[in-house]
Amino acid sequence: MAENLEQILGPRIPADEIRANRARYMIPTLLFVAAAILLISSIFLPYWRLTLNAPQYPKGLTVQAYVNRVEGDVSEIDGLNHYIGMRPLAEAAEFEKSISIYGIVGVSLLILAAIFVHSRWAALLALPALLLPAIFLIDLQYWLAHFGTNLDPTAALSSSVDPFVPPVLGEGIIAQFSTWAVPDIGLWIAMAASVLIAIGLWFHRAAYKPLVEAAQASTEK
């Protein structure tokens, strides 16, 4: 049991090695801590913004998606969507929104846990946070496609609009409407955290791989 735990946690750093090369081991730690702080901060900020341009709204309508809610001109857009048979925006990703804050806190804790793991298992702990921005966009694209291709056939204008898939990023055209979707500040912060994690993993490997190889060599003797 102790041997298996040591294989997962990796070798401990000798005290003289820490004194001689403190920066080598501090860099991945600081990068992981910074990434965790950025992810926690992103919870309070919008991740995605969509602007709908419609003839009756010359200034456009905008919604902002946080990880746990949607804000902005939601009622106006829901009103337009109702006529073509699209469900209200609030009904999208209900499960994801209910667990999002706990999930982001959880993956942030995994990043911090990776600080104490001096083996390749650290990359596995950091992987969920590293992929978080991509997971968010993929899930959002799924719901956009689900809503756009499952229109209510009894809606007033259902016959005038074919099923469609609004793009999660960039411009989309739906009948006489157009949409423009972009990442918002929360997602940019989460992407910055992913970059820090990727850099941190590189420094982590550079710092701890020699210790792992030395420990393996001493075991084989």
The pLDDT of residue 5 is: 63
155-207 tens-digit pLDDT:
887 677 788 888 999 999 887 788 999 999 999 999 999 999 999 999 999 99
Render pLDDT for 124-160 as a digit per residue (tens, 0 to 9).
999 999 999 999 999 999 999 999 999 888 888 767 7
Please tell me the predicted confidence (pLDDT) of residue 220.
55
pLDDT above 70: percentage of residues in the chain: 93
Spatial contact of 89 and 63, defined as CB atoms under 8 Å apart: yes
Sorted by sequence, the CB contacts under 8 Å of residue 121 that are 6+ apart come out as 8, 9, 10
Read off the pLDDT of each residue in 13-40 and give the average, rounded to a whole number: 90
Q: What is the pLDDT of residues 61-97, one digit of tens each?
A: 999 999 999 999 999 999 988 888 889 999 999 999 9
pLDDT of 218 > 70? The answer is no
Mean pLDDT score across all residues of the chain: 90
| Other CB atoms within 10 Å distance of the CB of residue 97 | 16
Residue holding tokens 């804790």?
Answer: 109
**Is pLDDT at 221 greater than 80 in this prediction?**
no
